[in-house]
Amino acid sequence: MDYFYTPPLLTKNKSLSIQGEELHHLSKVLWKKVGEAIIVIDGKERAYKAVLESISRSSAECKILETFYRFNEPEVEVKLAVALLKNPSRLDFLVEKCTELGVRGFIPMETDRTIVSKVHTERLQKIALAAMTQCGRSYLPPIHSLMKFSEALTYIKDCDVKFIMHEKADLRSDPRGKNEIGKREKSVGILVGPEGGFTDDEVQAAQSAGFVPLSLGTRRLRSETAAIASVSAIILNR
């Protein structure tokens, strides 16, 4: 069954409306017809099994048959703070794949070794929306405004478990990070650095704020690979 997005304001008790780009995709790309059943998600954790009752140039009107809450959402809520990357397409890829995996929110971050200082939030939000619809999630993860490293630490300080991905982390002498993965925590915060990695001062600041250094192995990973791997390890290990 195909998935479509509509904001909550277009949803009533027993009906909903699909408009804009989603209407074009429904009627002109997938050629949906009146009487067909679809799944509609509102980006706020609700999904609806609905049947198409009418399709016009301005909207597709649907009757709601069944409502689902936290539809296809992971048990753990992951907030991902990631340093801006020199190549914007790599950040696009990161947002797309981590949205599919179930990330709850993205914090673009400026660190000591960050080279670029501008984030295209609107474009990234559209990528997250498309990924949410494609994979059948019901929550649209927000793309927050660019934050300084210290601001990102504060923003996700309340997560049950917090990790800073760091290539120098030695889990043989400090296995806390490895032991934390798989616990029944409700929220996890992850910090991923830029191409040059975090500075020693940033790692120290994160540890002082309760973040556990976590290594993904001896190989040198790109930032987007480290983000996807860490999110996968936490969400898919549940």
CATH number of the domain encompassing residue 129: 3.40.1280.10
The residue whose two tokens read 């070794």 is 113
Compute mean pLDDT per 10 residues along the chain, 238 residues long, and list them: 93 94 94 96 96 96 96 94 91 96 96 85 96 96 96 93 80 46 76 90 94 84 91 83
Residues 6 or more apart in contact with residue 157 via CB below 8 angstroms: 189, 209, 210
Reported as a single tens digit per residue, the pLDDT across 22-75 is: 999 999 999 999 999 999 999 999 999 999 999 999 999 999 999 999 999 999
CA–CA distance from 180 to each of 75, 79, 152, 172, 176 (Å)?
16, 16, 21, 14, 6
Nearest to 224 by CA among 100, 88, 78: 88
The whole domain housing 65 covers 3-69
Please say which residue of 47, 69, 91 terminates a domain. 69
Cα gap 39→48, rounded to integer Å:
6
Nearest to 233 by CA among 165, 139, 170, 149: 165
pLDDT at 88: 87
Residue type, 96: E
Residues 6 or more apart in contact with residue 51 via CB below 8 angstroms: 35, 36, 37, 38, 62, 63, 65
The residue count of the chain comes to 238
Cα gap 177→99, rounded to integer Å:
23
In terms of domains, do 113 and 53 share one?
no
pLDDT at 196: 84
pLDDT at 238: 62
In terms of domains, do 49 and 96 share one?
no
pLDDT at 114: 87
Q: For the chain, what is the mean pLDDT?
A: 90
pLDDT at 218: 77
CATH number of the domain encompassing residue 49: 2.40.240.20
pLDDT at 169: 62
In terms of domains, do 51 and 115 share one?
no
In terms of domains, do 87 and 56 share one?
no
In terms of domains, do 24 and 118 share one?
no
Cα gap 108→84, rounded to integer Å:
6
